[in-house]
Structure 1
């Protein structure tokens, strides 16, 4: 099942996508803020979906999760990306946080931050938690906590991240730095989450072309590991790392500029398309 939030920013309604790729207005079932609960509960009856009205053509997708309680990111979690960065493969997952206010819709603008000049792209598999997870002991327990999967664009300002005291959250938490969605796809529909193709293009040029099969720590292990340090709650988002091809890894490095267009895709999870706009100096 593919759940979504549709409509103007701040006025989103619950939506879903049927088997024929038609977007439907599911607001009669509940509120857009309940999207994670609907995903965790499983699909409604087919007859109920068939009765839902079609959404208007070209409807805007909001973020598939309205505002995560916390965004837990995993650093250097792809072996080929670690090689690209010239860093050793970590022995344990590298955890850091991204501010929840970064989340925007999958086709919303990415705004460059004031004082930044090294804004980078990262296509990532997002994992949305559907039930409380604490001190989990098995992969089965961990996967049972997943409400669904989505595309998460972990935009980063490398100058803030790496040149301003080494605190990664500073380079990850600028407004608009996490386009999310378009859909929250339930695990039964995703299939093998350990073998999903993922791509990112800048102005039509393929920059990232990888697969989740090169993840060092898989989804179940990441959830189980994180649950030993903090309670994961419904609506929390885990972004699981990125394959090679980021701007910092180009020779010479290449970063986003106003006017660029970034397009992302992950098998079965849809597509994103964001324009990059100049910093707000007002």
Structure 2
């Protein structure tokens, strides 16, 4: 199943995608639905049978989950990306966090801040937690807690990212985290969404091209490691790192600028497209 979150009359609404149409499931969010329990997605699909239909192309899409409880990101999770930045392959994930105000939906402008021109793209897989993960979960059980997947663009303001030893400030400018367009349930994809082509395109030119099997820390291992430390809850989002080819590592560097269009595509998951605008 594929779900979208869209805006209508100032409200976030959940929809089930059926071809070019969306079944309007009402004023609720995907996070609310997941927190209702494991059977809630199936119940939503049943409700869609009698729900009103809207054309997908006409909707204003919001981030798949507009306000996740936690957005936990991985840096340097592809060996070639670590190498292009002069880093060694990590022995433990480089975790950092995003806030909800950084998120933006498919089709909406991603905003280059007035304080920087070092505006970079990062194609990433997002995994959405479907139910509370117990502490110290076994890696072999971890994927059972993933509800589904989406596309993410971990847009980075590179000079701000490098101002401190931790990357948080360069990853949390408003409207710099495109997330969507759709949430794809885990049963539609290979376990851990492994083995999927992942790419970014800037103005139609391919900048990154890799495969999710190349992640150093795959989804199951990431969940197991996080569960050593904290409780993951329904609607939390894991943003799984980017492959090589980002703008800062090119000669000369390639920065996104107002008027550009950036696309993130993951096989079987979708294509996330955003124009770039100035603050």
User: TM-score under structure 1 normalisation?
Assistant: 0.91
Superposition map of 1:240-251 within 5 A? 240-251=240-251
Count of aligned pairs between the two proteins: 275
Q: How does 1:193-232 map to 2 (within 5 A)?
A: 193-232=193-232
- Is the CA contact (8 Å cut-off) linking 1:263 and 1:273 kept in structure 2? yes
Structure 2 partner of 1:32: 29
Aligned-partner Cα distance in 2 for 1:46–1:113: 40
Q: Could you give the per-residue CA deviations for residues 178-230 of structure 1, whole angstroms, max 9, x where no partner exists? A: 11111111110122411111111111111111110110011000011011112
2-side partners of 1:178 and 1:35: how far apart? Answer: 22
Moved more, 209-218 or 8-17: 8-17
Change (3 A) 1:236 1:117: same
C-alpha displacement at 1:10, in angstroms? 4.2
Describe the SS at the equivalent of 2:173. Answer: coil
Structure 2 vs 1, CA of residues 15 and 92 (structure 1 numbering), >3 Å: closer, same or farther? same
Gaps of 5+ in 1: none
In proportion to residue count, which structure has more strand?
2
Distance in 2, Cα, partners of 1:38 & 1:170: 33
**What is aligned with 1:276?**
276
Question: Distance between the aligned counterparts of 2:33 and 2:63, measured in 1?
Answer: 10
Asked if 2 retains the 8 angstrom alpha-carbon contact of 1:35 and 1:64, the reply is: no
- After TM superposition, the score normalised by the length of structure 2 is 0.91
Structure 1 partner of 2:184:
185
Q: CA deviation at 1:39?
A: 8.8
Partners of 1:134 and 1:227 within 8 A in 2: yes
- Listed one character per residue, the Cα deviations across residues 150-184 of structure 1 (whole Å, up to 9, x for unaligned) are 1111110000001x122200000000111111111
Listed as ranges, the matches of 1:255-266 within 5 Å are 255-266=255-266
Alignment of 1:62-81 (within 5 A): 62-81=62-81
Shift of 1:70: 1.5
Greater shift, 76-85 or 133-142, is seen at 133-142
Deviation track 1:6-38 (CA, whole Å, cap 9, x = no partner) reads: 2348422110112x35322122xx623524347
When residues 249 and 36 of structure 1 are mapped into structure 2, their CA distance, relative to the original with a 3 A threshold, is farther
Would the aligned equivalents of 1:156 and 1:171 in 2 still touch at CA under 8 Å?
yes
**In the TM superposition, what is the alpha-carbon distance from 1:46 to its structure 2 partner?**
6.4
- Deviation per CA, 1:22-81, whole angstroms, max 9, x where unpaired? 322122xx6235243479434248664333322134212111112011211111001221
- Which runs of 5 or more structure 2 residues have no equivalent in the other structure? none
Distance 1:9 1:250 in 2: 43
